[in-house]
């Protein structure tokens, strides 16, 4: 099983898609993977303003690198890149959110490690399928 942080999903997690993804990742990946759930950090929005940001999952592997995973559940509707609806409510476009969080995380590590970490970064969006 993967190394999870936190080791158990918080009972306060509102998204059932995140709960199911947490359980799925835990049983699917081995202990060469470290997976962080609901990782909070400061980042910048599209306008360059400093904001509090939250990443659904960060998956780290020594050889493969780091994956930022944004999870969405419910009925998702896309209208190009400009508009995204989740259960009829407008939300941040998950592609932008995942990409911005990837760079926010990279910048955080760069500041903390006093240099650019030599790992690969990528991001993806998951519509809850299981």
Number of domains into which the chain is organized: 1
Structural domain boundaries enclosing 17: 3-127
Per DSSP, 87 falls in state T
d(CA 49, CA 47): 6
Reduce the secondary structure of 12-67 to three states and give it as a string: CCCCHHHHHHHHHHHHHCCCCEEEEEEEEEEEECCCCCEEEEEEEEEEEECCCEEE
Higher pLDDT residue, 11 or 78? 11
Prediction pTM value = 0.80
What are the pLDDT digits (tens) for 75-125? 777 766 556 777 777 777 777 788 888 888 888 888 888 887 778 777 777
At residue 128, the pLDDT reads: 56
CA 72 to chain centre: 10
Pairing mode, strands 83-86 and 76-79: antiparallel
Task: For residues 4 and 108, give the distance between their C-alpha atoms in angstroms, rounded to a whole number.
Answer: 20
- Cβ burial, residue 47 (10 Å; 0-12/13-18/19+): exposed
Per-residue confidence band for 32, with pLDDT thresholds at 50, 70 and 90: very high
């Amino acid at each position: 099983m993967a190394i999870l942080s936190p080791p158990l999903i918080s009972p306060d997690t509102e998204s059932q898609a995140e709960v199911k993804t947490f359980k799925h990742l835990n049983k699917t990946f081995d202990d060469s993977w470290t997976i962080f759930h609901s990782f909070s950090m400061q980042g910048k929005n599209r306008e360059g303003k400093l904001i509090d940001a939250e990443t659904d999952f960060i998956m780290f592997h020594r050889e493969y690198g780091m994956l930022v995973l944004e999870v969405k559940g419910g009925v998702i509707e896309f209208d190009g890149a400009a508009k995204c609806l989740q259960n009829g409510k407008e939300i941040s476009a998950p592609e932008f959110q995942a990409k911005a969080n990837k760079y926010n995380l990279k910048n955080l590590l760069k500041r903390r490690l006093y240099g650019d970490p030599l790992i690969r970064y990528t991001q993806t969006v998951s519509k809850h399928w299981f």
